[in-house]
Each structure stands twice: as C-alpha cells, then as structure tokens.
Structure 1
C-alpha cells in the first residue's frame, strides 16, 4: 500500500512540474521579446528629442492690394480757365473734368501732372509761354479723388520763386485730405526728405524730376525749388535706391522726351532702364504733349508709361488733344514675414479734350473717354481710336488696352 501511494505522489509531482514548465515558457518568451524591443528602441533623451523634426506648419500668408490710376498734363491755357470762369469772378472746372472722376473711380491712388503752376489769381493769371493757373483747378482734381500730383516740369519756374512757394503752400494745405505733391519744394529739407506713404497696407515713395525749366534757373542757393535731373542723374538714382530700401513700391514721374514726338527717344530708354535697375517700380512719363508707348522692363518688375500726353489743354492739333490714361494693380504678398511685390493688369486707354471755337473764342471744354465719343463730337472717332491706340502697345503687345 505504501508503495502504491508513493507512486501516486510521484506522478502528481511530475504533473505539477510539467504544468509549471508549460506556463513558464510563454512568459519567458514574452519577456524576451519585450526586452528585445527595448534594445531596438533607444531611450529618448533631451538630445534626441531636439533632433526629432516637428510636424510641418502651414505658412502664414497675408495679401494686400492697391490700384494706381494715371493721367497726363493739366496744361491750363487761358482758353480753358476763361471757360471755367463764373459770373462772380471765381473759377469752377468741375464740368470740364467730371469724366475723370468716373474713369478713376475704382482706383485707390490717382495721379496727374500739374503742368502749369497753381500760383492763383493773386499773382495774375497767365497763359503761354509763362503760365499761371487758378488754384480752383487743383480744388476740382482733389474733389475728384486725385491724390498724387507731380509739379516738376518745364513750367515750374514760370512765376519764379513766388509761384513755387504759392503752389507748394496750396498743396500742403491739402495734405490732411491725403493728397501728396512732389517735384517742387519750399526748402532744402523738404527736397532732401524721403516721405513714405501707405495705402491698403502697401508702403510707397513718390518722386518727380524734370529735364529743365525752359531756360529759367532757380535763384542761387535755392536749387531745391525744383528737382532737375540733368547733371544730377546719379543723385536721382541714389534717391531711388534709398526709396527702394524703405518702401514696398517706388513711383517716379519723369518730365522727359521730345516735345510733340510719339516716339520714345534714346535718353528715355536709357534712363528708364537705369531707374528700373535702381529699384523704380512705376515710371510715369510726361512732357511730349502727345502719347507714347507703354512697356514692361526687367521681366515685369517695372512698368513704364513713356508719355501720357495731355489730360486737358487748348492745343489745336489732334495728336495734342488726345491723351492717355493708365492703370496698374499692385499686390503685396507677405509669407511668414517675407514681402513680395507684384505689378499686374497694366493697361491704358485714350481720352479726348473736346471744345468748340465760335468767332475765335473757345467754349464747351470737356474731357471725354473715347468710349463716350460719337462722330458728332469727333468725326471718324472709331478710326482715330484704332490708329492712336495702336501706339500704346507698339513696344509691348502684352499691355492691355481699355477696361476703365
């Protein structure tokens, strides 16, 4: 009996040992696999955490946009201001210029060249060859939203220093309305300054220079009265470089070219390229009193309107009463704090100054876009438009025509 019981106990011990072995094997395997996983995955330290790339973030992009409208010379002959004279002796140019307001309505910045000095009636009004214009003309343009005015031209000194000072005082009185004039100055400090303006989140600088003043010179020591570029080309280019450093967009108005020629001359081509290389974005040309082509430079960096012609005048040849208006869109894109400026939608179209001559007197001045003309206002106007508008794209077929 004892022997049989002993055998049973031995068998029981064997079964227990076998069961323990069966349980122990998978536990050991699992532990071994876990340990192997630990070996393959290094412990993450502060050093390795720094090396782990972060998830890529979407760039922060902000976009700003503004549109610039351009018109040419306000050449206010006596016939124009006589037509604007009111019974009480004041002057009102609103009826003459009212279509310009409509044409520029969609634009944030509106530029024109004040060819004749706004010395006002106190200096005595005058016409060709030494002009002095009622300040009410400026009132009209400001009322119609024009806020950029150049005054550096060959008539800047027609009324000598006094005319410049009166004109400058007039335009300074409009600064609170957001109007900026450049090209003539009442002090050396103002001439040397480089104001930076802002529109819709875009900063810009505004400069103007002329080839001369019809042989008139500023008084000795007062060369600051008007910006002249002959002999000062490098100073002008350096001013553009400085402007390019402190603003998003550089706008420069150049009184240049060959009078009454619709072809761009070599000096214009050379200066335009130099200005573009120096950092100018928009170059606006005046002086020839007729229109000249429009052209992109430096792969679309700079747009040049070589001559906008006359906006309004009493000149008597067809080419001189057909002017050009221009428009360009400025877009500023800021990506993670880095700004990029792009100009686009550069376009131009034609305007026409209509007036009647009755018994040797001028009446009914009005500036019209060609889209509003009829053969009654300008005989054969469609053929004339086709001929003159072809000049716009003569140097660059990518320039858009129309659309104002």
Structure 2
C-alpha cells in the first residue's frame, strides 16, 4: 500500500508496543537485525521477502523493505542480506536468532529443494528458528540437528499458512499453525548456550465472521 502506509503501520506498532521487523526506517538500519530481550534471553530477528507483489519501492526508498532474490527462476538464491543480519545479531551478542522469511510457492504443500537448501544454510550460519510464510497453506515443520552444534535442534517451519487472508474457499486454506516454543538458557561444557526446550505447532482456524482465531 506504499511507503506512507508502511510508516503509518509502524507508528501504530510503536504506539502499542509491538516490534516490527523487515522494514528499516532509515538506510542505516538496512541489513541490521532487530533485538528483543525477554527473561534474560537476547533474541535476534532477521527477515527478508522475495517479493513486493510487483510494486517497486520509490527511488531513494529502496532500503524500506528487506527484499532478496530468494525465489528467482533466473539467478541463484541470494542469502547475503539475511547473512548480514545474522552477523549483526551475533555481533550484538544474541542468544537465539529467529528468521522470518516470506518465500515459497502459493498453494504448494511442500517447500522447493532450493528452499530446503537455503534453510539449512541459514541454520548453519546461526539461525535457530525459521518462520516461513507466503504459500497460504501449511508446509512441513522440520527439526534439524545442526552441524555447527550437534546438541542443537533448529526448527524450520517452511510455511505457517495464513492468519490474515480473506480466501476461505477450501479447507486447506483455512488451517494455519502458530509455533509455541520454550527456550532454555544455560551452560554446556562451560560455554553459554540457549536451546529450544520444546516446540509445539498449534493448528488454528480463523473464524469467518469474527476478527479472531479459534485454537484447535
């Protein structure tokens, strides 16, 4: 809906204490992660979208959305923007890194091979949780044991479905997932570690006549 509407949305988030990701306000914020501390755990958030639905950002405002060629048919998957954000989160001492990625093919029930390869690469770079969106249907949740730390299991939700879409023409378009995670922070071999203690994907369906969600 344009940069003005993006800024208006961010203003509302700021008013209500909601942290936005993926939409830098200034060029200096581009390629940087967002950091949130809760219960002594420093969480880093990185993000990217493969598309703006064919609507280019205005000249001079290209930094306003983290956009990468994640799904192009013509060039390899570009992870450099996400890698830059991961490096920024590491530099700022984050205990746990979450990647929010807008990618995938609409209405397909499984991720493409290149997405799986990209997800594994991001996890080995330092991401601990991937939350995917765009296909509008649920795709598998993968529990991936990392090579960088044999004790670490990363969670990759390739597509959580959708919570704010108005198409309810088929059952598979109604069902979505919300990931509930519990983290544990401590020391392993004298080194500080933060691991996923539990991960539960909860199915939800939106109520057609009310602006809310029904938990199954």
TM-score (norm 2): 0.84
CA pair 310-335 structure 1, distance change in 2 beyond 3 A:
closer
Secondary structure in 1 matching 2:11: helix
Pick the aligned partner of 1:236 from 78, 82, 91: 82
**Alignment correspondent of 2:11:** 169
**Alignment correspondent of 1:255:** 102
Which structure has greater helix proportion? 1
**Alignment correspondent of 1:216:** 55
**Higher Rg of the two aligned structures:** 1
Per-residue CA distance 1:223-253 (angstroms, 9 max, x = gap): 1111012175223213213323421011110
Pick the aligned partner of 1:338 from 191, 203, 213: 191
- Aligned partners of 1:244 and 1:280 also within 8 Å: no
CA distance in 2, matches of 1:217, 1:352: 33
CA distance in 2, matches of 1:243, 1:259: 30
CA distance in 1, matches of 2:8, 2:203: 32
CA pair 184-329 structure 1, distance change in 2 beyond 3 A:
same
CA distance in 2, matches of 1:160, 1:343: 37
**Alignment correspondent of 1:347:** 200
Structure 1 unaligned blocks of 5 or more: 1-158, 356-362, 371-404
Per-residue CA distance 1:110-159 (angstroms, 9 max, x = gap): xxxxxxxxxxxxxxxxxxxxxxxxxxxxxxxxxxxxxxxxxxxxxxxxx1
- Aligned partners of 1:257 and 1:267 also within 8 Å: no
Which structure has greater strand proportion? 2
Instruction: Report the Cα offset of residue 325 of structure 1.
Output: 1.6
CA distance in 1, matches of 2:200, 2:194: 18
Instruction: Report the Cα offset of residue 364 of structure 1.
Output: 4.7
Instruction: Report the Cα offset of residue 335 of structure 1.
Output: 6.7
Instruction: Report the Cα offset of residue 192 of structure 1.
Output: 4.1
CA distance in 1, matches of 2:141, 2:188: 31
CA distance in 1, matches of 2:52, 2:210: 31
CA pair 364-169 structure 1, distance change in 2 beyond 3 A:
closer
Would you say 1:160 and 2:7 are equivalent positions?
no
**Alignment correspondent of 1:275:** 122
Q: What RMSD in Å do the two structures reach over aligned CA positions?
A: 2.1
Secondary structure in 1 matching 2:207: strand
**Alignment correspondent of 2:72:** none
Secondary structure in 2 matching 1:308: coil
Q: Which has the higher contact order (CA 8 A, sep 6+)?
A: 1
CA distance in 1, matches of 2:38, 2:10: 23
For residues 302-313 of structure 1, what are the structure 2 equivalents within 5 Å? 302-313=154-165
TM-score (norm 1): 0.47
In the TM superposition, structure 1's runs of 4+ consecutive aligned residues that sit over 6 Å from their partners are none
- Aligned partners of 1:296 and 1:304 also within 8 Å: yes
CA pair 195-184 structure 1, distance change in 2 beyond 3 A:
closer
